[in-house]
Amino acid sequence: PPPSFHNQRIPPTVITFAQFMAVDIHSVTGVFLWTESPEWLLHMTLTDIHIDGSILHSSRSLLVNITVRSSSAKLLRHAADACLAELSVALAAEATFVAQGPLSLEEVYVGLEHTKAVINDGFYSFVQERHKTEPLSSKPDLAIIVQRLAPIIPKLLTLKLEDALLQDMATLQLFQFKTKFTPAIPPATWPQLGVELKVTGFHVSKDTCKLLILDKLSFDAEVMEKAIIVQFSLKNLLVSYDHENVYSWLLTHLHQPQDLQEVEDEEEVSDWEWLQGVELKGKAELLNVTTILRLSQASVDAVSGFNHLKVVCTCNPSTFNAEGHKYTAELLMESAWCRLNSGQDAPPGKSHIWGTPLYLGVTLVNLRRPLTGPARLQGMLDIVRAEWSPPLASFLSHAASCVKDYQSLRRVQQSSRSSSAMNLHIDTTINITNTNAFFIADKKVCIVVRLDKMLVDSRQVKLSVTLEGAKIMSLSPTKAQFTCLRSEEIKAACCHVKMVRAEWHRQDNMWLVELTEEVDTVWSPNLHLKLLTLFKEMKALRNTLVSPETVVSESSTMTESPPRKLQVK
């Protein structure tokens, strides 16, 4: 552990000297040489340095001010491209100490302006050469470290970065980081800590392709005695991923060949035991988030996003519940979508645009765990649209290939070990309204399934599903979009079920299907061929996504299930 700074004091001579100190330095140049392999050289230059000290608040506070008008640093090595990285920045810093009494660092401010950095290609290979795997060692006690360093931990720390530029890669308008720290005073065992982070105008690009655009991000956290409060907000985020460019860049600059190694799954140790008896509160709100996935030149691009997402969760410690905490969580999401090879705007609420695999109008989920009894999940979804199409199958196939590319970067063999299954049951109730499913075959034919309402209720004893207003129709997707109608407004349908209820009794493994209204069905060879084509395409995609070894292992490990019973009314 580090040495303790308690009972340390600032010498009176230092305070007297600082009261009349003012130092101006025109230029300072320094060189640091690392002789071990790989060798490197750090060259630094500071211009117009001003250092000033003063006594404030009736000789109770010592203020130290440092200003550097411009500074530059270069990282060099013996190679064809000698310069690995460059950095230039203007610095302004202030620190306030307690001049009388025990040593205490009250406030620190660090401001960086006009920061410009250049990272050359040789820097990444240099980092890989210097990377060494550290041997496993016992983790230090964080509480002891904080207690020993408490006098020199700033009570108020501010780090501000403005107008930063990483040449040919990124720009940043504002980065601000603030912390507030108050040491623990007995009988309290936790210090009071506050963290505030703000990011504005962060853009990342490569050539003419915009990889990331972030307008505003804020993060606030407060730690008190047995309580943690976290708030997160994000506004206007665009993330673009081009697999060929990103994967080739990672493979060229950051990948190191590794031998096949066996990784043992460690036991779940007491890393989270300190959360026992801690009250947790969290809130996250995200606005206008969009992601663009470009996997290959042969497949279409996928654009997904949502307009609004809000998550609120609380976790209260309970001395009466031996099984754990009492917690609640709520999720609200508005207008979430995924589109293929189309614009970034959200689809309209009442019309389906072809090439939209998924659209969710409003999603509301509530999860609660009381002091006694099982946890309960309640969900409500309004306006649900899903589409299956050959472009979607091609995109999923390319996505599986991209995942395999990343898996090949690190060849790790997981050790096989037995694990006990966790018996966890959550009572679930999900209410879904205005559902449309579109199944487009390769022959430009579409099967449309309309469902006005679906209710799913899962308990520990049984599972029940209720469907209302279900219709199936066939059409050709010739127009740009399809207007979604209620089931009674659809005239031509090959199947119509007004209401059906199904129950599955888990203990008896028995299904009970109850048809409370009339059922109309029409079967034809043409409909049979359409369904057969869809089945073959889905099966072909499954064979592409799942390796033959997985299919064989699943069939060999499949246990014989008890006979099912079916009762239809």
Between 364 and 532, residue with greater pLDDT: 364
Of the candidates 531, 534, 551, 527, which has an alpha carbon nearest to the alpha carbon of residue 393?
534
Q: What is the mean pLDDT of the chain?
A: 84
Q: Quick one: CA dihedral 387, 391, 397, 403, positive or negative?
A: negative
Can you give the pLDDT at residue 567?
A: 66
Whole-angstrom distance, CA of residue 317 vs CA of residue 313? 13
Token readout for 28 is 């300072």
Residue 116, judged by CB atoms within 10 A of its CB (0-12, 13-18, 19+), counts as middle
Mean pLDDT, range 384-398, rounded to an integer:
91
pLDDT tens profile 323-352: 556 789 999 999 999 999 766 677 777 889
DSSP secondary structure letter of residue 208: T
Amino acid letter, 11: P
Whole-angstrom distance, CA of residue 229 vs CA of residue 282? 6
Can you give the pLDDT at residue 259?
A: 47
Residue 15 pLDDT > 50, yes or no? yes
Q: Is 136 in a helix, a strand, or coil?
A: coil
Tokens 């499949």 found at? 558
* Cα 537–chain centre separation: 33
pLDDT tens profile 349-358: 788 999 899 9
Whole-angstrom distance, CA of residue 515 vs CA of residue 569? 6
Mean pLDDT, range 364-375, rounded to an integer:
87
* Cα 376–chain centre separation: 25
Can you give the pLDDT at residue 552?
A: 46
Strand partners, 180: 156, 194
pLDDT tens profile 458-475: 998 899 999 999 999 988
Can you give the pLDDT at residue 266?
A: 46
pLDDT tens profile 510-553: 888 888 777 888 888 888 888 888 888 888 888 888 754 454 45
pLDDT tens profile 296-326: 887 889 999 999 999 999 988 755 444 556 7
Whole-angstrom distance, CA of residue 115 vs CA of residue 170? 12
Mean pLDDT, range 373-401, rounded to an integer:
91
Residue 19 · residue 54 · CB < 8 Å: yes
Helix axes 243-253, 390-409, angle to 10 degrees: 10
Residue 102 pLDDT > 60, yes or no? yes
Residue 178 · residue 196 · CB < 8 Å: yes
Residue 95 · residue 108 · CB < 8 Å: yes
How long a stretch of residues is the chain?
569
- Which range is most confident: 88-102, 138-152, 248-262? 88-102
Residue 66 pLDDT > 80, yes or no? yes
Mean pLDDT, range 169-198, rounded to an integer:
91
In the structure, what pLDDT confidence band is assigned to residue 424 with cuts at 50, 70 and 90? low
Between 183 and 516, residue with greater pLDDT: 183
Distances (CA, A) of 346 to 146, 356, 361: 49, 10, 10
Whole-angstrom distance, CA of residue 375 vs CA of residue 393? 37
Global pTM value: 0.84
Phi–psi pair at 150, nearest 5 degrees: -55, -40
Tokens 């048809």 found at? 515
Can you give the pLDDT at residue 42?
A: 92
Can you give the pLDDT at residue 123?
A: 85
Residue-range domain boundaries for the chain? 1-127+146-209
pLDDT tens profile 438-456: 999 876 788 999 999 999 9
What is the chain's alpha carbon radius of gyration, rounded to the nearest angstrom? Answer: 31
Can you give the pLDDT at residue 209?
A: 82
Whole-angstrom distance, CA of residue 544 vs CA of residue 392? 13
Of the candidates 185, 162, 184, which has an alpha carbon nearest to the alpha carbon of residue 172?
162
Residue 74 · residue 42 · CB < 8 Å: yes
